[in-house]
Amino acid sequence: MYDLNNLIDPALKITLSAALDINDNGQIVAYGGGNSRTYLLTPVPEPSTLTLFGTTLLALAVGVRRPTVGVSTKRSTYREPRPHNKGCQS
């Protein structure tokens, strides 16, 4: 169990008295404050999470663009010879 008051910015000068609900996105509906209001608390990802996600995307992008060693990216110019039809021979 967590005290939500420790997770919000103290500069807001709000004291939450109860958490009413939480959804699948981690947003919490809480009740409290001087005027007895309802607040929606939305979690913010930690910078380390964003860094890991960005690094993973960058690695995937570089990996897709870089060819495997020893594999040519040029098309082959070899063509099968066409049969010559030099007229009817009987």
Beta strands in 1-90, from DSSP E residues, in sequence order: 16-22, 28-32, 37-41
Task: Say if residues 52 and 46 touch (Cβ distance below 8 Å).
Answer: no
22 bridge partner residues: 28
Longest dimension (CA), the chain: 108
Alpha helices in the chain (DSSP H): 47-65
Q: How far is the CA of 73 from the CAs of 45, 68, 77, in angstroms?
A: 40, 9, 12
Segment 5-57, tens digit of pLDDT: 998 888 988 899 999 999 999 999 999 877 889 999 998 877 777 787 788 88
Domain boundaries, the chain: 1-64
- Long-range contacts of the stretch 24-29 (C-beta < 8 A, 24+): 28/4
**Whole-model pTM?**
0.49
How far from chain centre, in Å, is Cα 5?
29
Calculate mean pLDDT across residues 64-74. Answer: 60
Q: What is residue 20's predicted lDDT score, i.e. its pLDDT? A: 92
